[in-house]
Structure 1
Amino acid sequence: MAVLTIKDLHVSVEGKEILKGVNLEVKGGEIHAIMGPNGTGKSTLSSAIMGHPKYEVTKGSITLDGQNVLEMEVDERARAGLFLAMQYPSEISGITNADFLRAAINARLGEGNEISLMKFIRKLDEKMAFLEMNPDMAHRYLNEGFSGGEKKRNEILQLMMLEPKIAILDEIDSGLDIDALKIVSKGINEMRSSEFGCLIITHYQRLLNYITPDYV
């Protein structure tokens, strides 16, 4: 069972302390929700966990299954099983959704354990159908020209394809209409298992109408 443990975490941005002693433990099988207005440090926490260079950890620890996350580069954190769905996903021209996902999966699996093309295609088709995504989106450049709702749905597709140990979903519900919110929630609920833990960061109660967290 995966365990993300944060102890006495202090984080500063440009010399200003934003987080002042955060303690949190997210285990496989659990969904945690952090709610609150802008400026309270919610996104600072997610960025610090994933190693954004702007956010300086001045005190405390972050471990994943006992491994020191703070000693890992960003790509090492992802390969170890951490996943961040960003509030504003980047658009990347020149690489298709499908190529990006296959490369990311193979990076996680490691050399010699790569997913076969046929297995990848079957899995991608299955997850896109589950999320009611147009199959053509697999062949479009990553998030380029996507609507806000399509970008958020694409983040959940990445989550379901990569199957991380711990996911941090930073305002995944922001800007979604009710239909898109239901589909995104369906994807998150589908991931529930003893091998998967989730930290949801949100402003709004409405997401929790469709996802029942274990801790708020």
Structure 2
Amino acid sequence: FLGFQYPTEVSGVGFSHFLRTAYNSLSKALQGDDREVFITVREFQKYLKDNLNKVGLKEEFLSRYLNEGFSGGEKKRAEVLQMAVLKPKISILDEPDSGLDIDAVQAVAQAISKVAGKDSTIIVITHYARILKFLDKLDYVHVFARGQVLKTGDASLADKLESEGYDWVLEQKA
């Protein structure tokens, strides 16, 4: 799964319809044959309601067009809802904190934590440590520059970067 820094608004495509179509397509692909495997609208609505609660979105979002008129935080949580529905093994979230105030960053981080499964990997790309403070589990922090990993550490590395910047890492690898 790839979560975008700036999720696109798609007028005319209902959010609920988009999610159900993606879910059914994935189910069919995982089935491994040409049989049609579909979840009913009623079953899917129940499944969605359970996941809406995890990400902090209201049911009214399901009747809107994909990302149309959503705030920045709502767009990010809508992407986390897609993760919850599709249950990918690997998710890459490109700057899920971009353009958000601190309350929205916290809400998005909590949503990510709630949908993270033990059988999944979530890669969060960020320039700031604040979202990392709100995630329930943080295994590694990597510093990328010049097309390579320059430094790897735990949460304390993110704190050091927040207070001292990136120059010390770049100088070590120069």
Under a length normalisation based on structure 2, what TM-score does the superposition of the two structures give? 0.72
Q: Partners of 1:117 and 1:137 in 2: how far apart?
A: 16
Instruction: Answer whether contact 2:55 2:112 (CA < 8 A) is retained.
Output: no
Q: Which residue pairs with 1:6 in the alignment? A: none
> How far off is 1:87 after superposition?
0.5
For 1:98-148, what per-residue CA distance to the aligned partner results, in whole angstroms no more than 9, with x for missing partners? 000000001100043222222210111122123222221111111112111
Task: Give the 5 Å matches for 1:1-216.
Answer: 83-110=1-28, 111-211=35-135, 212-216=137-141
RMSD (Å), alpha carbons:
1.4
Q: Which residue pairs with 1:40 in the alignment? A: none
Instruction: Answer whether contact 1:165 1:195 (CA < 8 A) is retained.
Output: yes
Select the structure of larger CA radius of gyration.
2
Question: How many residues were matched structurally?
Answer: 134
Q: Tell me, which stretches of 5 or more residues in structure 1 are unaligned?
A: 1-82
Write the letter of the residue equivalent to 1:98.
S
Q: Partners of 1:113 and 1:197 in 2: how far apart?
A: 26
For 1:36-63, what per-residue CA distance to the aligned partner results, in whole angstroms no more than 9, with x for missing partners? xxxxxxxxxxxxxxxxxxxxxxxxxxxx
Structure 2 SS opposite 1:198: strand
Write the letter of the residue equivalent to 2:55.
L
Instruction: Answer whether contact 1:153 1:180 (CA < 8 A) is retained.
Output: no
Write the letter of the residue equivalent to 1:91.
E
Higher relative contact order (CA 8 A, sep 6+): 1
Q: Partners of 1:115 and 1:204 in 2: how far apart?
A: 40
Instruction: Answer whether contact 1:160 1:187 (CA < 8 A) is retained.
Output: no
Structure 1 runs, 4 residues or longer, greater than 6 Å off: none
Q: Tell me, which stretches of 5 or more residues in structure 2 are unaligned?
A: 29-34, 142-174
Structure 1 SS opposite 2:139: coil
Structure 2 SS opposite 1:149: helix
Comparing both structures, which one devotes a greater share of its residues to strand?
1
Comparing both structures, which one devotes a greater share of its residues to helix?
2
What is the percent sequence identity of the aligned residues? 45
